[in-house]
Amino acid sequence: MKKRRSMIVRGLSLVTSAMLLMSGCGGGSSEPKCSELMDRTARDVSVSVSRIDDLPADFVMGADVSSYLSIDKSGASFYDFEGNKVDMDGYFRLLKESGLDIVRFRVWNDPFDEKGRGYGGGNCDTSAAVTMGKSATKAGLQVMIDYHYSDFWADPGKQMTPKAWLLMSDDEKEAALEEFTRESLTALKDAGVNVTIVSVGNETDNGMSGEKGWTEKCALYNAGSRAVREVFPDAKVALHFSNPEHDYVTYARHIADCSVDYDIFGTSYYPYWHGTLENLTEVMSEIADITGKRVMVLETSWAYTLEDGDGSGNTVSHESNSANPFYSFSVQGQADEIASVTGAIADVGDAALGMMYWEPAWIPVGYYNPKGSDADKVLESNRKKWEKFGSGWASSYASVYDPDDAGKYYGGSAVDNQALFDFEGHPLDSLNTFRYMREGHELEGLTLSQVIMPAPVSMEIGEDIHAYLPMTVRGELDNKQRLTFNVEWDEEELRQLSAVGEYTVHCTITDEIPGSDGTPRKVMLKVNVLPHNLLVNGDFEKGDNTGWEISDPMAGVTRDDPYRGDYALHFWDDSTVAFTASQTVRLDKDGELVFSMKAQGGDMGDGHVVKLIVKNEATGQTYEGSVTLTGWQSWKETGYYVEESAPVFRVSAGDKVTVTLEVSGAAGGWGTIDDVFLAYNE
């Protein structure tokens, strides 16, 4: 789990299916029951998956199913593909038969309050891992244990110290971590659990167990590693990070500098947050070369629907994910995502050790339909179960340990729509993707139903458009499978982009198109040719803060979420967001100025400010334009081009003009600003 994800969940209201809104359902004798209206087609879909060749012999595919036990205790049912209800042993057998080699269980030190009430998130302690691990081992699955070394969720946003270690010195904490790992693993070993991989920490980019420095973190990694070597000498030790789009090479150097004893450099990879698959392959290849270690994707997932099934808003939802350049939200989309990520890590070569899906079975404890006549009752019942069995992402009891996040926003499953089971526990064919990737399972007779329009591109006049043109487009087949097609651009059209203005250019798909009669398929792209930018590094493509005076280190130029190119001005803070970025330019001729700014982001709170201020220091004339941030990749623009009432901004040679970006918002707010633009209107 990543901090930004749980933060997105907070702001969500419940999602209602359009179908249910129109149909009406409930207790009336002529009305169908709500459960009968649920989209059952998902469980009948058959997915198309190409075989992945040349996987390393010991490559493992699997999933984190930590929440299973709490879902089971809450009374929810799981079924096999024949529709038979399965118990715990049957459930793990089903996973094995679907092609999984390994399952992963997170372990928290002590996820309970002083009265023994669970914090939720599956109440995952060693005892839960032993119970599920025994059953998984019986089914022939390998087991990975994922130690968070915290009493609750550990991720890039928080790495809280376990309660029992709070007053310890560094040396004492190191010894306690080693002892905790030894005891926990010994319990698993004594129970006969087949532990083959142990993760020392979870998404530890920014810390572990309250320690932030690399020296302290490394000492803790080694303490955990020592215990693994002692109890399970044949198991591999994994380290786990969560930002492949960031600087893993620096991480690897720190880890090597302090001689950490480990085998696997693991990463999370969620398409929305973690860069392109090409970048994943490239970065993990580089890491494998530098370190000589194996590499693995330890978490990934994709949603088969944007609906919510339990009355607790989902991370990926209608509200936050309408913009989706990746896969379709469908059972086939899940298969595409799993196969694409697996292919990308397998492309690393012999160093690739495997991939794991995150929480494919965190289904609703009770299927909730907000329009049903029994909706209130179901939601009340779900809430009781989340509290009693810890089957939601957090219970109210977590507030003593994590008051700011779990304490405020506790609730149910935020990922029921990315499970590989439907809301009632029936497996989706996407679960078989693990088997299909080894065997191949390609459907026949598919045809291209639509091409996903590439996002518009902008360039400054005089630049080479080829630097901005995509060389591929995504197309969706009639089974919702998305494929990548190579394209060729119409060079004749491109030569016409020689003056400021908006253009439409075209490319032609050069790859074979499923179901096509051979007619060339053209794809359109909008191109905006902009005048010369007077700002230094207004597009942030220098890759650093050059040109800008930035008032606080919470903001800076990074590779996170650019609008255009590779860089943007990114901001995030777990306390209040407030900064300015500004620069002053001296004009060398008379004229009229135009200006604009683009921004995206979220969790900024009511009344947040994201402002572009342009001031002529000579005349005092000032322009102010604002945008309201509404979510990830929901780009908003302000300035001359979008404001009907933008003033005529006349300037004279020698005038100094200051451009200021002013941002303020709530704690936890995040976003990026890109393409800040100041030019003569000509």
Active site residues: 203, 299
Rounded Cα–Cα distance for residues 675 and 670 (Å): 17
Report residue 21 as tokens: 């809104």
Minimum Å gap between C-beta 425 and Ca ion is 15
User: Roughly what angle, to the nearest 10 degrees, separates helices 214-231 and 248-257?
Assistant: 70
Q: Are 433 and 335 in contact (CB under 8 A)?
A: yes
CA distances in angstroms from 460 to 218, 507, 528, 531, 535, listed in the order given = 46, 21, 8, 6, 12
Residue whose CB is less far from Ca ion, 310 or 603: 310
Amino acid letter for position 139: A
Residue whose CB is less far from Ca ion, 51 or 377: 377
Rounded Cα–Cα distance for residues 358 and 360 (Å): 6
Long-range contacts of 555-559 (CB under 8 A, 24+ apart): 555/579, 555/581, 555/663, 559/245, 559/246, 559/275
Minimum Å gap between C-beta 411 and Ca ion is 8
Report the length, in residues, of the chain: 682
Residue whose CB is less far from Ca ion, 312 or 596: 312
Segment interacting with Ca ion, rule: CB under 5 A, options 138-146, 161-169, 407-415, 551-559 = 407-415
Segment interacting with Ca ion, rule: CB under 5 A, options 35-43, 169-177, 302-310, 320-328 = 302-310
Residue 563's Cβ-side half-sphere holds a number of Cα atoms within 13 Å equal to 23
Angle at 351 between CA 347 and CA 357, to 5 degrees: 65
Q: Which of 146, 151, 310, 359 touches Ca ion (CB under 5 A)?
A: 310
User: Roughly what angle, to the nearest 10 degrees, separates helices 214-231 and 170-190?
Assistant: 30
Rounded Cα–Cα distance for residues 156 and 4 (Å): 9
Minimum Å gap between C-beta 414 and Ca ion is 6
Q: For residue 307, state whether it binds Ca ion (rule: CB under 5 A).
A: no
User: Roughly what angle, to the nearest 10 degrees, separates helices 248-257 and 277-291?
Assistant: 20
Report residue 410 as tokens: 């506790």
Q: Which of 126, 312, 433, 479 touches Ca ion (CB under 5 A)?
A: 312
Residue whose CB is less far from Ca ion, 310 or 405: 310
Q: For residue 301, state whether it binds Ca ion (rule: CB under 5 A).
A: no
User: Within 10 Å of residue 31's Cβ, how many Cβ atoms?
Assistant: 15
User: Roughly what angle, to the nearest 10 degrees, separates helices 277-291 and 331-346?
Assistant: 30
Q: Are 81 and 425 in contact (CB under 8 A)?
A: no
Residue whose CB is less far from Ca ion, 16 or 279: 16
Segment interacting with Ca ion, rule: CB under 5 A, options 43-51, 310-318, 336-344, 426-434 = 310-318
Minimum Å gap between C-beta 585 and Ca ion is 49
**Of 479, 489, 477, which is closest to residue 513 (Cα–Cα)?**
477
Q: What residues numbered 411-430 form the site for Ca ion, per CB under 5 A?
A: 413, 416
Q: What single string gives the DSSP state of each residue in 591-608?
A: EEEEEEEEEEEE---TT-
For Ca ion, how many residues bind (rule: CB under 5 A)?
6
Q: What residues numbered 628-657 form the site for Ca ion, per CB under 5 A?
A: none
Q: What residues numbered 100-159 form the site for Ca ion, per CB under 5 A?
A: none
CA distances in angstroms from 19 to 38, 307, 371, listed in the order given = 9, 11, 11
Amino acid letter for position 659: V
Amino acid letter for position 127: S
Minimum Å gap between C-beta 432 and Ca ion is 24
Minimum Å gap between C-beta 337 and Ca ion is 19
Rounded Cα–Cα distance for residues 143 and 130 (Å): 10
Angle at 411 between CA 407 and CA 415, to 5 degrees: 125
Q: For residue 308, state whether it binds Ca ion (rule: CB under 5 A).
A: yes
Residue whose CB is less far from Ca ion, 309 or 625: 309
Q: What residues numbered 576-595 form the site for Ca ion, per CB under 5 A?
A: none
Residue whose CB is less far from Ca ion, 310 or 573: 310
Residue whose CB is less far from Ca ion, 142 or 413: 413
Residue whose CB is less far from Ca ion, 291 or 314: 314
Residue whose CB is less far from Ca ion, 310 or 422: 310
Rounded Cα–Cα distance for residues 347 and 62 (Å): 18
**Of 184, 188, 163, 187, which is closest to residue 111 (Cα–Cα)?**
163
State phi, psi for 413 to the nearest 5 degrees.
-80, 125
Say whether 681 sits in a helix, a strand or coil.
coil
Q: What single string gives the DSSP state of each residue in 270-310?
A: -TTTS--HHHHHHHHHHHHHHH--EEEEEE----S-S--SS
Q: Are 93 and 368 in contact (CB under 8 A)?
A: no
Residue whose CB is less far from Ca ion, 113 or 416: 416
Rounded Cα–Cα distance for residues 34 and 82 (Å): 23
Q: Which of 314, 321, 616, 672 touches Ca ion (CB under 5 A)?
A: 314
Minimum Å gap between C-beta 392 and Ca ion is 9
Segment interacting with Ca ion, rule: CB under 5 A, options 142-150, 253-261, 409-417, 593-601 = 409-417
List residues binding Ca ion (CB under 5 A): 308, 310, 312, 314, 413, 416
